[in-house]
């Protein structure tokens, strides 16, 4: 494996221009003791630590910026340690480098599953998914990674071991545990912290059996995105039992084919048909037709334009609350901004209805819209990053959530303030560049 493979993201991240001379060591521990030794090496050199999972995150955090650092990969920490399925809350204990697909290959033959399914579930690690609080098209039903984690074991920069759960912190260091519990640190803080608090060495994850139900589904077509948003708002209000919900909000002529957008692909228990029909005008599909539509949605953003190259400039937009009702206006504003920067909208799609968390740990419900653009040939990295900054400003003005596991880790000031409070207590030296006043310049130099 090359140094480049551990330093940069694995797939769609646009942050990859790094000064590799600043990476002072790369470690591939297999257990907790080896993690302690790797962190001790960083401490001895006086450099920061960058935790790295599968590299599928898009925020740039897993690169560590351009400062001197040690990188610690979890890719050899893939052991499944314990399965307990005969308790009130079945669980599995795993090392952080295991992917959901690897875990479910063991669980599904015994009738259980880890119900967290990001699109990168074949390469994303569970430690990384918790660090970004990721999820997939099942978050409406099963929640994000924090909702499916019982506790996480972590190693801090001084080698201290802590266990963080939904209620607080445990540690052999009683004084530290008391300080962290006095400020009410919980698993909510570890979620979406982008590896800035410590290195996760083990997770206890919720597992559930497969539901005994027959699923049916189809597609719903809308005249505009606001109609889609209004329908989603009704589903959210009624807590509709949607098991699979994916939208194709918009598509460029080069890839549209015969699609009429916006549209919604739904799958739900057959007992819910009347409830769904009371909200939307559903065109029911047979199982093979439904699977074909799912495949079209998955492959849509993987196609290329006839001319130019596509880019995931700003991957995630969270439409929720009032901005669902005026979604078309929000999308038009976003597209206008993109074109002002010379970018052509290419594809918009995403999980709907869905769930995520705001920086104050309040859950939000709505549409997680992913986006692809055709980049101009003459755009510099700084040009593209300036567009990202403008998108952050626009989405915050419109009340749309810039999805934190994607391009902008801490635009939510409440989350940023909380991370700084905890990092001071923890004496953390993990991914320090994310808190530097020059973070924007660092990230722009990496595009």
pLDDT of amino acid 63: 86
Strands (DSSP E) contained in 286-361 are 309-311, 316-320, 344-357
pLDDT above 90: residue 256: no
Range 215-402 has CATH code 3.40.462: yes
Range 1-210+412-447 has CATH code 3.30.465.10: yes
In this structure, what is the dihedral angle of CA atoms 62, 181, 174, 154, given to the nearest 10 degrees? -20
User: Rounded to 5 degrees, what are φ and ψ at 50?
Assistant: -115, 110
Q: Where are the domains of the chain?
A: 1-210+412-447, 215-402
pLDDT above 90: residue 429: yes
DSSP-assigned states of every residue in 349-407: EEEEEEEEE-TTS-EEEEEEEEEEEEEPTT--HHHHHHHHHHHHHHHHHHT-EE-TTTT
Is the CB of residue 355 less than 8 Å from the CB of residue 135? yes
Strands (DSSP E) contained in 105-214 are 112-113, 149-155, 161-165, 169-171, 199-206, 208-209
pLDDT in tens, 26-42: 999 999 999 999 999 99
pLDDT above 70: residue 11: no
Question: What would the two tokens of residue 76 be?
Answer: 């050899």
Is the CB of residue 75 less than 8 Å from the CB of residue 51? no
Higher pLDDT, 137 or 347: 347
- Omega within 30 of 0 (cis) for the link into 441: no
User: Mean pLDDT of all residues in the chain?
Assistant: 92
pLDDT above 70: residue 10: no
Is the full-model pTM beyond 0.85? yes
- Kindly tell me the burial class for residue 67, based on how many C-beta atoms sit within 10 Å of its own C-beta (0-12, 13-18, 19 or more): middle
pLDDT in tens, 211-232: 999 999 999 999 999 999 999 9
Containing 102, the helix (H) or strand (E) segment is helix 100-107
Reported as a pLDDT band with limits 50, 70 and 90, residue 74 is: very high
Distance between CA 348 and CA 332 in Å, rounded? 12
């Amino acid at each position: 494996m090359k140094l480049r493979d551990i330093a940069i993201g694995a797939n769609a991240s646009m942050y990859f221009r790094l000064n590799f001379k600043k990476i002072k060591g790369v470690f591939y521990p297999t257990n907790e003791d080896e993690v302690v030794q790797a962190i001790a090496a960083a401490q001895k050199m006086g450099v920061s630590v960058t935790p790295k999972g599968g590299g599928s995150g898009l925020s740039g955090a897993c690169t560590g910026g351009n400062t001197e650092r040690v990188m610690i990969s979890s890719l050899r920490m893939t052991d499944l340690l314990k399965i307990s399925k005969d308790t009130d809350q079945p669980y599995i204990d795993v090392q952080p480098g295991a992917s959901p697909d690897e875990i479910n290959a063991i669980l599904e033959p015994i009738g259980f599953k880890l119900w967290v399914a990001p699109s990168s579930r074949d390469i994303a690690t569970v430690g990384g998914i918790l660090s970004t609080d990721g999820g997939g098209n099942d978050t409406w039903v099963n929640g994000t990674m924090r909702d499916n984690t019982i506790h996480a074991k972590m190693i801090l920069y001084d080698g201290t071991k802590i266990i963080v759960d939904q209620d607080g912190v445990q540690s052999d260091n009683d004084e530290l545990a008391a300080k962290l519990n006095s400020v009410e640190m919980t698993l909510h803080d570890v979620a979406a912290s982008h590896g800035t608090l410590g290195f996760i060495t083990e997770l206890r994850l919720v597992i559930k059996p497969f539901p005994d139900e027959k699923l049916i589904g189809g597609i719903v077509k809308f005249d505009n995105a606001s109609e889609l948003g209004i329908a989603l708002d009704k589903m959210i209000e009624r807590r509709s039992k949607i098991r699979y919900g994916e939208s194709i909000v918009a598509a460029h002529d080069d890839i549209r084919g015969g699609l009429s957008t916006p549209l919604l692909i739904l799958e739900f228990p057959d007992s819910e048909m009347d409830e769904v029909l009371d909200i939307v005008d559903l065109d029911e599909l047979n199982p093979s037709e439904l699977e074909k539509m799912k495949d079209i949605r998955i492959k849509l953003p993987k196609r290329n334009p006839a001319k130019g190259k596509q880019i995931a400039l700003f991957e995630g937009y969270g439409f929720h609350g009032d901005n669902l009702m005026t979604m078309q206006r929000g999308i038009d504003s976003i597209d206008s901004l993109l074109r002002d920067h010379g970018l052509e909208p290419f594809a918009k799609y995403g999980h709907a209805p869905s769930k995520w968390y705001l920086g104050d740990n309040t859950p939000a419900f709505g549409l997680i819209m992913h986006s692809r653009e055709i980049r101009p040939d003459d755009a510099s990295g700084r040009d593209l990053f300036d567009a990202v900054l403008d998108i952050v400003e626009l989405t915050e003005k419109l009340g749309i959530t810039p999805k934190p596991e994607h391009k902008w880790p801490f635009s939510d000031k409440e989350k940023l303030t909380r991370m700084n409070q905890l990092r001071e207590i923890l004496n953390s030296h993990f991914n320090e560049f994310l808190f530097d006043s020059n973070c924007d310049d660092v990230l722009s130099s990496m595009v």
